[in-house]
Amino acid sequence: MATKVGFIGLGAMGLPMSSNLQRKGFDVIVYDIDGARMDRVAELGARKAASIAEASRGADVVVTVLPATHHVEAVVFGEDGVLAHIDPGAVLMDMSTIDAKGTDRVAAACQARGIGFTDCPIGRLALHAERGESLFMVGADDSSFDKVEPLLKAMGTTIFRCGGPGMGSRMKLINNFMLLSTAQIVAESLALGTKLGLDIQTMHDVTANTTARNGQFHTLMVQKVLKGDVVPGFTIDLAFKDLTLAMNAAAENRVGLPVGSAAHAVYGGARASDYATKDYSALLELACERAGIATPRMA
């Protein structure tokens, strides 16, 4: 019998991942506040739920992929939420990028009710999710992990167990802090290089063959902003949220992040403008705009 999956949240990552589960033989019921997104998965054979409660009841695994901590807590703890309706012995798998303390609260509530819990934040880009090539950072005990592993293998290619519940969220915080800070450095570097008269292909090829090579320039930007595409796979607004999680964690633990603080300020300024809803690779457009130059493009 196919594993029954209740999938809540069909955003840039949730939509392709739920679609891949349906394509690969899972019994999927989806819920999102955007009915058109549910329709897209239903076209593949998934069922549409009328509520969070309906998506949760009868599922072996309930998956949540939501924007922020308060969304997860509302969906999980609400009167019509997951914990009020999930079956005993089922597993809640939260794949959102949220405050690790929020993850801890959800994990504790699941444990108190005899519900399995895993936090499995997602690595890589929306284009990887579409191809079923996502990476997952998993916080789980062995029993819960065994139940969700087949789903992870259907949605991605790389799984890292980071420790017990809560450790996946903590790893995602560090991962995103590193990549988002790097993206700003890359944007500034390419703006400076363009101002100095360097060709973008030259900058790409040279840095690809030194230790300056990085995923923000050589994977993200060549696929997005350097093609003139800033349709959001991951918005600057959400990037600011993720950097804020890192800054808050650092403050709580008395860790100084001076370079990260500067990057955080840039994202904060960008989200106060039209850049808020653009893909975060548009940091390059912002840096070039401030330098008074045209944004370079690659074929």
Residues 6+ apart with CB under 8 A from 26: 2, 3, 4, 5, 151, 154
- Beta carbons within 10 angstroms of residue 18's beta carbon: 30
CATH (domain of 14): 3.40.50.720
The answer to whether residue 122 sits within a structural domain is yes
Q: What pLDDT sits at residue 2? A: 82
Task: Domain count for the chain, please give it.
Answer: 2
CATH of the domain at 269: 1.10.1040.10
Answer yes or no: is 299 within a domain: no
> Does 155 lie in the same domain as 8?
yes
Q: pLDDT value at position 184?
A: 98
The pTM (predicted TM-score) of the whole model is 0.92
- Do residues 56 and 12 both lie within one domain? yes
Residue 265 has pLDDT above 80, yes or no: yes
Q: Is the pLDDT of residue 47 over 80?
A: yes
Residue 15 sits in the same domain as residue 112: yes
Same domain, 68 and 102: yes
Average pLDDT rounded to a whole number, residues 95-121 = 97
Is 256 in the same domain as 156? no
Considering 172, 224, 241, 278, which one is annotated as catalytic? 172
Residues in the chain: 299
Read off the amino acid at residue 114: G
End-to-end CA distance of the chain: 48
Decide which of 130, 150, 165 is a domain's last residue.
165
In a domain, 297, yes or no: no
Give catalytic status of residue 227 as yes or no: no
Do 247 and 108 sit in the same domain of this protein?
no
Q: 279 is in which domain, residue-wise?
A: 170-291
What does the pLDDT read at residue 226? 98
Write the pLDDT tens digit of every residue in 149-208: 999 999 999 999 999 999 999 999 999 999 999 999 999 999 999 999 999 999 999 999
118-157: pLDDT as tens digits: 999 999 988 899 999 999 999 999 999 999 999 999 999 9
- Looking at the fold, whether 31 and 155 belong to one and the same domain comes out as yes
209 in any annotated domain: yes
Residues 49 and 124 in one domain: yes
pLDDT computed for residue 126 by the predictor: 87
Residue 298 pLDDT: 95
296 in a structural domain: no
Say if 186 falls within a structural domain.
yes
Residue 178 and residue 160 share a domain? no
Please say if the pLDDT value at position 241 is more than 80. Answer: yes
Contact between residue 102 and residue 77 where contact means Cβ atoms under 8 Å apart? no
Indicate if the pLDDT at residue 33 is higher than 80.
yes
Question: Mind listing the pLDDT tens digit for each residue in 49-62?
Answer: 999 999 999 999 99
Domain stop point among 109, 138, 165:
165
Could you tell me if residue 49 is inside a domain?
yes
